[in-house]
Structures are given as structure tokens and as C-alpha cells.
Amino acid sequence: RDVVGVMTLRGAMIAVVGPSHDRGRVWDDHQGILDAVLGGAEKQAEMLSLQHIQNAAQRVIRKFPG
């Protein structure tokens, strides 16, 4: 893994999610997606990924309006 890339992604996520109660939910989302992928549940992984992206988009819009 590219350590710089991982740290950049982590920093970006922290900037968007912030130090809030949402952070735990975000990591739980990632775990659920990974579990579905590793378990071969493609449709579930797809559904969880789409929900996660939609939720993330809404957080970005709220945090950075206009």
C-alpha cells in the first residue's frame, strides 16, 4: 500500500466527517462493505457502497454548501 495515499485519504475523510459521532458510522460502513465483498455478497456490497457514497455526498454538501 501507498502510505502517502492512505494518509491523504484518511486526512480527507477526517476533514469531511470531522470529529463527530458520524466517524464511527463511516468506518462501520467500510467494514460492512468489506465484509460483503470478502463474503462474496456482490449485491449487498454494491447496495452498501451506493448508500455509503450517497450519505458521504450529503455530508459534503452540508459541510461545504454553495
Residue range 21-36: mean pLDDT, rounded? 86
pTM: 0.68
Query: What is the pLDDT at residue 20?
Result: 63
**At residue 1, does pLDDT exceed 60?**
no
Of the listed ranges 9-13, 33-37, 38-42, the least confidently predicted one is 9-13
Instruction: Judge whether 38 and 30 are in contact, CB under 8 Å.
Output: no
Q: Is residue 17 helix, strand or coil?
A: helix
Is the pLDDT reported for residue 61 higher than 80?
Answer: yes
